[in-house]
Amino acid sequence: MSLRTPRPARTPGKPPHGPSAEAPVSPRRWAVLAVLSASLLLAGIDLTVMHAATPSLTRDLHPSGVGLLWIVDVYSLTVAALLVTCGTLGDRIGRRRLVLAGFVLFGLASAGAAFAQTTGQLILARALLGAGTAMIMASTVAIIRVVFPDARERALALGVWTAAHSAGAAIGPLVGGALLGRWWWGSVFLVNVPVIAVILAAGARLIPESRNPLPRSWDLAGVALSAAGLAGVVYALKQTGAQLRPEPGPALAGAAGLALLFLFVRRQRRLAQPLLDFSLFADRRFTAATVCVVGCFGGYTALLFFLTQWFQLVGGASPLRAGLALLPLAVANAVGAVAAPLAARRWGNRRALTGALALFSGALLLLYAGGGPAHHGVTSAALLASGLGAGVVMTLGADSIMSSADPDRAGEAAAIQETSFELGAGLGVAALGTVLAATYRTALPSSVPGVPPAEHAAARESIGAADTAADHLAPAAADLLRAAARDAYDRGFTVITLVAAATLALTALLTALLLRPGQGRAKAVSRRSARRTAQEPSGSRSGS
């Protein structure tokens, strides 16, 4: 993941987050930062920790292929849907109150996820985890701006905060593998409870309260439109991959979701104080950077998830070994994030972004052509190149989003930036998971010797379901079914690798076109400035 450091917003006159230039420096500011960074480290771990636990929870809960996808990405989709509105809520009721409530919800949802007995219960618990994370993330940036009035210290604090979330997501599969070496799959969630209890106690003592003296209106209709529209589109994606033949239900749900999202965008463009200010997309640099973030982080997150399954289900690795196998990807991602500014200075933002996207795409093609659990050298090289390219893209993309916005629009830009990361994570797993599920069902033979129709039908749901069905068969038939399921899953993985590579190549081409020199941003700036003159200054969004 990248170091996503939003720049502090500056609104003429009254600062939107409380502190003035002469605000006293809090002696506890670094302790407050430690508490907030620990909470973001935990949230980052929770984004990816269950990747290693998927095979074992599949054996216990028997989720369908669609149900498994919901378990995985309902977390990030919920964060994306609630992030901005939680920031607005924190401005109104108090950021300390909201972040402490987020800690409580995160802890309770973690306990609920650990002891879930059904797929539906686990999906609900994961959604509540996402809601708690949105409450935490939406409040912490504003709190950091309050306790760090000095610009240099604040920049360092924001860098530490974002690095904590990045590090958490990178080590999530490794943490999950280590826990599963001794305990059951629920331990990857239960471990959150004592940690969040300590964070809650420290936060209640250390974090100061703050509000926006001029909070923006809370657009409940906009929240409902965006959440319902996103749910409809994602539902349609998942159901399409689970069906043997096209049916009208998912198509209608997808069409309704797109219609609701269109109404949401139109509503936001008409409001004086929108949840997401889409006028920022008039700047081609902003649009290109957002596309890069969504596409690249979506591919990176999906790669983390499906590679973890691939190593375990096809390669036979333990959860811990699967987590260790992903270390080259995480390490290279961190190196890419650090090297991104150097690449931009040497080759320029346009060439650095398009080159890094092309590197990520080429690495996936290498994985498609010659990688596999049995080909460690090729796979490791592909993971190193993927992580390096993704780190550069996500860092430069995030910086471009912020730098292309006017200084007094940094809050709005940061809100879109953070939402883009979470939306990319959810949509990446949903879209590629749908392709993998459809390929798996197609590639699985229509019949396997010695396997009754009922067990064969169950095996078509997912590779985990095939493994469970094989437990009830004679050894010879069980081995044949497991081998067929592994082969079908391997084919599905190669297909989504090719799809992801093509998507990233297309993103690189689009970025190169949008960032062509010579067309400036003066028109976009003038359009935004004209629009702002007719509105009251709304301050910056703390939900970034």
Predicted confidence (pLDDT) at residue 513 exceeds the cutoff of 80: yes
DSSP string, 429-448: HHHHHHHHHHHHHHHS-S--
Predicted confidence (pLDDT) at residue 197 exceeds the cutoff of 50: yes
Q: Are 16 and 120 in contact (CB under 8 A)?
A: no
CA distance readout (Å), 333 to 35, 38, 380, 392: 25, 21, 13, 8
Number of Cβ within 10 Å of residue 163's Cβ equals 21
pLDDT at residue 542, rounded to an integer: 35
Cα(241)–Cα(234) distance, rounded to whole angstroms?
11
Amino acid at 115: F
What digits encode the pLDDT tens for the residues 118-132?
888 899 998 898 888
Q: Could you give the 3-state DSSP secondary structure of residue 149?
A: coil
Mean pLDDT of the chain, nearest integer: 77
Check residues 509 and 313 and name the one with the higher pLDDT. Answer: 509
DSSP string, 175-240: HHHHHHTTS-TTHHHHTHHHHHHHHHHHHHHHPPP---SSPPP--HHHHHHHHHHHHHHHHHHHHH
Angle, helices 119-147/65-93, rounded to nearest 10 degrees: 30
Structure tokens at 423: 């939306």
Check residues 279 and 477 and name the one with the higher pLDDT. Answer: 477
Strands (E), 312-457: none
Cα(136)–Cα(39) distance, rounded to whole angstroms?
8
Q: Are 54 and 309 in contact (CB under 8 A)?
A: yes
Number of Cβ within 10 Å of residue 104's Cβ equals 14
Predicted confidence (pLDDT) at residue 367 exceeds the cutoff of 70: yes
Cα(481)–Cα(103) distance, rounded to whole angstroms?
44
Architecture in CATH of 282-445+497-517? Up-down Bundle (1.20)
Cα(193)–Cα(463) distance, rounded to whole angstroms?
31
Check residues 8 and 95 and name the one with the higher pLDDT. Answer: 95
pLDDT band at 532 (very low <50, low <70, confident <90, very high): very low
Q: Is the dihedral of CA 200, 206, 207, 208 positive or negative?
A: positive
Predicted confidence (pLDDT) at residue 46 exceeds the cutoff of 60: yes
Please identify which residue in the block is written with the tokens 């092309």: 358
Tell me 318's DSSP state.
-
Please identify which residue in the block is written with the tokens 């990816």: 48
Please choose, from the candidates 300, 450, 282, 440, the residue with its C-alpha nearest in 3D space to the C-alpha of residue 363. 300
228 Cβ contact list (under 8 Å, min separation 6): 257, 260
Please choose, from the candidates 371, 392, 383, 390, the residue with its C-alpha nearest in 3D space to the C-alpha of residue 328. 383
Cα(318)–Cα(330) distance, rounded to whole angstroms?
19
pLDDT at residue 523, rounded to an integer: 47
Cα(440)–Cα(442) distance, rounded to whole angstroms?
5
Q: Are 258 and 250 in contact (CB under 8 A)?
A: no
What digits encode the pLDDT tens for the residues 375-429?
677 888 888 888 888 888 877 887 777 666 665 555 566 667 777 777 787 788 8
532 Cβ contact list (under 8 Å, min separation 6): none
Cα(429)–Cα(282) distance, rounded to whole angstroms?
29
291-301 residues labelled b (16+ CB within 10 A) or e (exposed): bbbbbbbbbbb
Predicted confidence (pLDDT) at residue 158 exceeds the cutoff of 80: no
Average pLDDT over residues 54-61: 78
Same CATH fold assignment for domains 16-216 and 282-445+497-517: yes
The domain ranges of the chain are: 16-216, 220-270, 282-445+497-517
Structure tokens at 107: 């802890």
* Percent of the chain predicted with pLDDT > 90: 4
Q: Could you give the 3-state DSSP secondary structure of residue 320?
A: helix
Cα(304)–Cα(320) distance, rounded to whole angstroms?
14
Tell me 279's DSSP state.
G
pLDDT at residue 502, rounded to an integer: 92
Cα(126)–Cα(124) distance, rounded to whole angstroms?
5
Cα(235)–Cα(228) distance, rounded to whole angstroms?
10
**Element spanning 74, H or E:** helix 65-93
Superfamily of domain 16-216: MFS general substrate transporter like domains (1.20.1250.20)
359-377 residues labelled b (16+ CB within 10 A) or e (exposed): bbbbbbbbbbeebbbeeee
Check residues 524 and 120 and name the one with the higher pLDDT. Answer: 120
